[in-house]
Amino acid sequence: MILQIDFKAGKPVYLQLVDQIRYAAAAGRLRPGEPLPSIRPLAEELRVNRNTIAKAYAELESQGVIETLPGKGCFLKVNSSPFTKPVRDKLLLTEIDEAVVMAHHLQIGRDKFLALVQERLDYFERKSTQHDSAE
Amino acid sequence: MILQIDFKAGKPVYLQLVDQIRYAAAAGRLRPGEPLPSIRPLAEELRVNRNTIAKAYAELESQGVIETLPGKGCFLKVNSSPFTKPVRDKLLLTEIDEAVVMAHHLQIGRDKFLALVQERLDYFERKSTQHDSAE
DNA sequence: TTTGCTGTCCTAGAACTGTAGGACAGTGGG
DNA sequence: CCCACTGTCCTACAGTTCTAGGACAGCAAA
């Protein structure tokens, strides 16, 4: 887990961490069951308060991405997504709609949009299978 | 333009308006060149300060979605997107990646994801052509 | 010009958010 | 048990954000 934060990015540090960890999990760079860096050492390394890391982990836990074993640490969840199917569908639909609306305003056509989507799906799929076999 | 705001949604009012207008434009419910509701009447109707509406419009203008003609009002832009191609690509890619990462964590597979994307593309396309011809 | 509309700038206060430090609770090896 | 580690809760404060009201500038019809 290589985590980097940008203090002058405008974006809150804890959200930068949330995004990076979500992304890393989707790319297979962080695998189910694997432990996340523990809060205090990571806080020291990144030069932030431990509660900033704790807040990121709490957010990830509420999203069902990680789980906390009291006294042991935080781990990437094996079976992600604690939400019901309708809730999951709604969450995803919102994201998809945002992308589709964005494409409209950027005047990017259906074909190019679909090509980009497939490209990114390939990218994440390739990455995660790489990490499954080798690494 | 039917705009509705939810004061207990947690989301800032001006952002609710930005989203609704972007969405309406993408769905063809608001067409290029068409005027937006003027600030003061809309503010009164929605029971918010005029600056809240003004802030939403300012944000939309900075996104290249609408334009302001001094003394006349705000109108949906005809040729949207004042950004360069690399910037547009990066903006869209960010949105797409968010959706793809979300799908991963919701354990929604590639096929269902692609089906949903196409469904939403169809939805917006259909809506906007409906509004082009009829109504 | 006057009137009434359009959006805009400036300022201010209330509310919220992000970050931080102290004290506490669960776990496991010596 | 005791110590060193794990994460958590509580409180606090600085900074930002959101919303709001007053005064101002551009446009157009009477």
How far apart, in whole angstroms, are the C-alpha atoms of residue B103 and residue B95?
12
Cβ partners under 8 Å of residue B82, min gap 6: B64
- According to the model, what pLDDT value does residue A73 have? 97
What pLDDT sits at residue B62? 96
Query: Which residue is closest, via its CA, to the C1' of D27?
Result: B71
Q: What's the pLDDT tens digit per position in A22-39?
A: 999 999 999 999 999 999
Is beta strand B73-76 parallel, antiparallel or unpaired with respect to A66-69? unpaired
Size of interface A-B (CB pairs under 8 A): 121
Q: What is the dihedral of CA A33, A15, B112, B20, to 10 degrees?
A: 160
Whether the predicted pLDDT of A132 surpasses 70: no
Mean pLDDT lowest among A32-36, A82-86, A90-94, B55-59: A82-86
User: Chain B: residue nearest A80 by CA?
Assistant: B105
Confidence of residue A94 (pLDDT cuts 50, 70, 90): very high
B62 C-beta less than 7 Å away from strand D: no
B59-75: average pLDDT = 97
Statement: residue A67 has pLDDT above 80: yes
| pLDDT of amino acid B80 | 75
pLDDT at A62: 96
First to last CA, chain A: 13
User: Which residues in B lie closer than 8 A to residue A102 (C-beta atoms)?
Assistant: 91-92, 95
Query: In chain B, which residues have their Cβ closer than 8 Å to the Cβ of A125?
Result: 110
Residue in A64, A92, A99 nearest the CB of B95: A99
Query: Which of B99, B100, B105 lies nearest to residue A65, judging by beta carbons?
Result: B105
Q: What is d(CA B43, CA A108) in angstroms, rounded to the nearest whole number?
A: 33
In this structure, which amino acid lies at residue A105?
H
Q: How high is the pLDDT of residue B135?
A: 42
Encode pLDDT of A4-26 as tens digits.
999 999 999 999 999 999 999 99
Closest chain A residue to B81, measured at CA = A106
Neighbours of A85 (CB within 10 A): 10
pLDDT tens for each residue of B74-131:
999 998 788 999 999 999 999 999 999 999 999 999 999 999 999 999 999 988 777 6
**pLDDT value at A70 more than 60:** yes
- Beta strands B66-69; A73-76: pairing state: unpaired
Crossing angle of helices B85-105 and A13-26, in 10° steps, is 70
Range list of H helices, chain B: 13-26, 39-46, 50-62, 85-105, 110-133
Note the CA–C1' distance, B64 to D26, in angstroms. Answer: 22
Structure token digits, residue A113: 């949009």
* C-beta atoms of A106 and B97 within 8 A: no
A90: distance to nearest CA of chain B, Å?
Answer: 11
> Confidence band (pLDDT; 50, 70, 90) for A134?
very low
